[in-house]
Structure 1
Amino acid sequence: MKGFYVLSTVQRSSTQHASESRHCRGGGSHHIIMCRPRPRLLHINRFGGGNDRSAGNKGNSSDSSKNHLGDYKSQTDEVRTLRWGIAPVSLMADDFAAALTVLPPHRHEIVSCAAAYRSHALAFADKYQVRNVYTSFEDLAKCPSVDVVYISPLNPLHCELCHLMLNHDKHVLCEKPICMSESKAEKLLQKAQARGLFLMEGMWPRCVPAYHFLRHQIMRNRLGDIQNVHCSLGLAVSQSKLALYGGVASDFGVYGLQLALWVYREVPEKVRATGKLNEEGIDVVANIELGFSQNRWASIEVSAEEKLSNKAIIQGKSGSIKMTNYWCPTRLVTEDTDYEFPLPGGGEVTTHYHNRLGMCYEAEEVRNCILNGSTQSELFNHNESRLLANLMDSIHAQLGVGRSSEVYTKFQLENDLKNATEIEANRESSEAVNK
């Protein structure tokens, strides 16, 4: 492992109100605990004094680590509205917009959107009452009414689009992976820090209540010493299009990697990866093992060829927790109790992808960080983005995936997006059906 990354341990007390019901299984009693977070408790991460106290900046209170919020200063926290730009309009962006609708309307507003085709942007704008419509990313970046941009194009476009928005002093929430290599991620993160702008890789599972309850159980030693984390995620994806998403390890494997880091809170000592490449040299199957101190392990199995169990098991000496759909969990299962975490919206708001309303917690985390002047989130900080990119470089090298020539090497976002729009729509529709 090259370099060393400090991972901050995020301690959170459980604030959910629980109601308990019983039912019998095989003659025995089984408990279900419903954990329903109150709307005001969506703020998971708070900072004091306006200084950036995230893991990468502890003790650093210089102006470069703070955002001066301008017209926000005269407002109270409760009435400040975070103004979003969407780049580009996509099924994932539509789910993000839907997630914002379950939050108090004065806290978030989509004011601008961009799409390769104006008709797509107009349809999105009509659905969510968006004032500004663009067919150019640069025009959106120049929009003075935008505070933060949600970025979700094809994976290889993420990095350059992030640079564009940061260059125009926009905060950024970018879907994973934030960049396709560690060197590119490092340059991007350095730019955000230098410009005093908030940047977060959109690892939204970290923000949902189920993850915080899991962390709470581990820190209270309810499972004993954790020995193993096992994750599987497999969905049938068109292999000929995987190059556009960086392969299955980049697209699926990161969910298991981030869960292992969330559980162990340390840099792995060993990384082993085996798998299968298609004719284009893109990984379509990957089996990843991470070795941590004291002989603790995480195993991550991902596939773009077949559907797997899509579960995670966190095994400790005293017990275990199982998570179905661990990238968007609403239930944690132990030996004697099922913990439910219902999503906001009451089932009235639908999304293209499973449980994507959970992105509302991520949006609230972004708002909270920006309004408090932080350039990163403690829930998934810049050091973890660096570490994740480092791990992916190592995994790709072991799998034999060529990194010398990337699919996108020049700043051609507008043309590239036009060519990829239909591919993205087909792929998203296929995955939505699978999920």
Structure 2
Amino acid sequence: MLKILSWIKTRSNKSAVRCYQNQLPTGRATRSSCRPDDSRSSVVGSHSMWRPRLRELHVNRFSEQSPGDLADNGYDSNAGSDDQWSGINGPTLRWGIAPISLMADDFAAALSVLPAQHHRIVSCVAAYQSHALAFADRHKVKNVYTSFEDLARCPDVDVVYISPLNPQHSELCHLMLNHDKHVLCEKPLCMTEEQVLKLLDKANARGLFLMEGMWPRCVPAYRYLRHQILRNRLGELQHIHCTLGLPVSNSRLALYGGVTSDFGVYGMQLALWVFREVPRCLKVSGKVNSENVDVAANIEMCFSHGKQAFIEVSSEKRLDNMAIIQGKEGSIKMGNYWCPTRLITDQVGYEFPLPGGEEVPATHYHNRVGMCYEAEEVRNCILKGNNESNVFSHSESLLLANLMDTIHAELGVGEFAPAVKSPNFQEEVFSVRDVVQDPEELDSETCRVVQDVNTGETLPCNRTEEEVEEKQNIPKALDAP
């Protein structure tokens, strides 16, 4: 009997330690938790015995790292995409930049941290030759143009990175596809769903690769988030909260098509990435300025089984700029979720250092070196002969454009703004009526009939109303019965 009791106690202690080990960030029990006295007094699943700490996951290496190394770090290289970060052997991908901009300068910096045999910028275009030459000197670009058509006809270019103002995306994408160039275009791909549909049809008909530049999908933080969701680490997913607010002038915001097109897409694509389904309903409220440009929006996306996404964006004030993915058994927080390098769970935080180490090139926008993952995804897809990427597919671009059209229609933005009725002056003339302030004025001298409009004859002021009507041949009103 004593042996049985002793065996039960020993088994329960081991079970408690084993459960506790699974809760630790490193997967290993600490020395204090392994001692018998501590194991008896500890509560299974309690995290009061250790402090959450950041854990670096070096999953952002390229050709020198094998897929097995990634698995050792707890990262699934197949989560969200079938490519491997070791890269695909093949020719160098030759890039054209259209046009030169701050974002394009950051993209060139991102390419610089990739293997030199994978990517090279061979052509660029700018409205001013001096800007193009300065960019070419910084990044050692061979061909310099001041015309988009010239760059589209350049035989040395395989793929074009497009980053002009949002309303110009559609036209430039069509131009490059017409000249058999693959395209990576910054978000949004187009301003309307109809434009996106035409662009996708052309890319598929010509067998060319086309991708909307939703580069957060390619960074390790997003892939690790998919890794956690697929392994049910958060339990049943419930809701997502996203906020993104940065002060932006109205004139600049109008160039980007509004706060929903510029900011809102990041939260919406995150919701689609997490829930992996089409929302069942969409609720939106917001603020539109005098130029019919949205400056603030609150978006609620409803999915199956009560799952929801709440997205708040503003160009008038700074928000906490964080995304929280909540499940029944845990949550994950992402600061700066459009360019995240850190994930924080209920137990531990994970950091994903950008490539380049201490020699990371300076960029104009925060963490833009992370676009290197997007560039590598483009290269892998093109070398495989794919027309689209599984990380952000054509169907998702079309769905996102449809949701954006719905939001703009609800807010009355751009072409969906209520039409201003032009005044009909002729109608207004006929509808004019004198306004009498004092009813007694009708009996005053100012309201007497003094002239016959038919003959121009001046009527004596002492004429009675009956005489005036008889002179003007005005029939008398019939007396009511």
Shorter-chain TM band: 0.7 to 0.9
2:402 aligned residue (390, 410, 417): 390
Q: Which amino acid aligns with 1:194?
A: A
Greater percentage in strand: 1
Q: Which residue of 2 aligns with 1:33?
A: 55
Secondary structure of 1:156's partner? helix
Q: 1:132 to 1:233 in 2, by over 3 A?
A: same
Residue 401 of structure 1: how far off its partner (Å): 1.1
Q: Partners of 2:386 and 2:279 in 1: how far apart?
A: 27
Question: Does residue 1:173 correspond to 2:184, yes or no?
Answer: yes
* Structure 2 residue matching 1:300: 3-state secondary structure: strand
Decide which of 115, 118, 140 is 1:107's aligned counterpart: 118
Map Cα deviations across residues 308-332 of structure 1 (whole Å, 9 max, x no partner).
1000000000000000000000000
**Counterpart selection for 2:300 from 289, 297, 300:** 289
Q: Which residue of 2 aligns with 1:344?
A: 355
Q: Cα gap change, 1:205/1:129 in structure 2, threshold over 3 Å: closer, same or farther?
A: same
Tell me the CA shift for residue 30 of structure 1.
1.6
Tell me, what secondary structure is at the counterpart of 1:104?
A: coil
Moved over 6 A (4+): none
The answer to whether the Cα contact below 8 Å between 1:46 and 1:369 also exists between their aligned partners in 2 is no
Is 1:235–1:303's contact at 8 Å kept on the other side of the alignment?
yes
In the alignment, is the contact (CA less than 8 A) between 2:180 and 2:208 conserved in 1?
yes
Determine which of 156, 165, 177 is the counterpart of 1:145: 156
* Higher Cα radius of gyration: 2
Indicate conservation of the 8 Å contact 1:85/1:140, yes or no: yes
Inter-CA distance 317–238: structure 2 relative to 1 (3 Å threshold):
same
Matched, 1:376 2:388: yes
Check whether the contact 1:19–1:35 (CA below 8 A) recurs between aligned residues.
no
Cα gap change, 1:19/1:122 in structure 2, threshold over 3 Å: closer, same or farther? farther
Instruction: Please list, as runs of the form range in 1=range in 2, the aligned pairs for 1:305-344 lying within 5 A after superposition.
Output: 305-344=316-355
Partners of 2:132 and 2:145 within 8 A in 1? yes
Contact between 1:236 and 1:304, CA under 8 Å: does it hold in 2? yes
After superposition, give the CA deviation of every residue in 1:69-90 in whole Å (9 maximum; x if it has no partner).
xxxxxxx942410000000000
Out of 96, 104, 109, the position equivalent to 1:93 is: 104
Deviation at 1:33, TM superposition (A): 1.6
Query: What SS does the corresponding residue of 1:160 show, helix, strand or coil?
Result: helix
Q: Output the CA distance in 2 between the equivalents of 1:175 and 1:88.
A: 12
Match status 1:299 vs 2:310 = yes
Q: Structure 2 unaligned runs (5+)? A: 1-25, 31-46, 68-76, 418-481
Moved more, 123-132 or 338-347: 338-347
Q: 1:326-363 deviations in whole A, cap 9, x for unaligned?
A: 00000000111101100001132111110001000000
* Alignment deviations for residues 98-131 of structure 1 (CA, whole Å, 9 cap, x no partner): 0000011110000000001111110000000000
Report the CA distance between 1:26 and its aligned residue.
10
The corresponding residue for 1:266 is 277
Cα distance in 1 for partners of 2:321, 2:88 equals 39
Give TM-score scaled by structure 1 length: 0.79
Given the alignment, which residue of 198, 203, 208 partners 2:214? Answer: 203
Which of 187, 196, 201 is the equivalent residue of 1:190?
A: 201
TM normalised by structure 2 equals: 0.72
Residue aligned with 1:149, SS: strand
RMSD of aligned residue pairs (Cα, Å)? 2.1
Matches within 5 A, 1:119-138: 119-138=130-149
Deviations 1:32-61 (A, max 9, x none): 22111232369874479xxxxxxxxxxxxx
Distance 2:181 2:27 in 1: 42
Distance in 1 between residues matched to 2:386 and 2:88, nearest whole Å = 15
One-letter amino acid matched to 1:142: R
8 Å Cα contact 1:208-1:358 kept in structure 2: yes
Distance across 2 between alignment mates of 1:227 and 1:151: 36
User: Aligned letter for 1:389?
Assistant: A
The answer (yes or no) to whether the contact 2:192–2:402 under 8 Å persists in 1 is: yes
Paired AA for residue 399 in structure 1: L
- Which stretch of the first structure deviates more once superposed, 349-358 or 382-391? 349-358
Partner SS, residue 364 of structure 2: coil
Quick one: structure 1 residues 218 and 77, their matched pair in 2 at CA, closer, same or farther if it must change by over 3 Å? closer
User: Offset of 1:215 from its aligned partner?
Assistant: 0.6
Partner amino acid, structure 1, of 2:390: E
Q: Give the structure, 1 or 2, with the largest relative contact order (CA under 8 Å, sep 6 or more).
A: 1
Contact between 1:315 and 1:321, CA under 8 Å: does it hold in 2?
Answer: yes
Q: Secondary structure at the match of 1:111?
A: strand
- Aligned to 1:268, the other structure's residue is in SS state coil
CA–CA distance in structure 2, aligned partners of residues 170 and 336 of structure 1:
47
Q: Using the alignment, how far apart are the partners of 1:387 and 1:367 within structure 2?
A: 24
Q: Work out the CA distance in 2 between the residues paired with 1:283 and 1:26.
A: 46
SS of structure 2 residue aligned to 1:298? strand
The question of whether the paired residues in 2 share the 8 Å contact of 1:47 and 1:372 is answered with: no
In the alignment, what sits opposite 1:360? 372
Runs of at least 5 residues in structure 1 that lack an aligned partner in the other structure: 1-17, 49-75, 406-435
User: Counterparts of 1:404 and 1:188 in 2: how far apart (Å)?
Assistant: 22
* Alignment partners' CA distance in 1, 2:57 and 2:207: 36
Aligned positions, number:
358
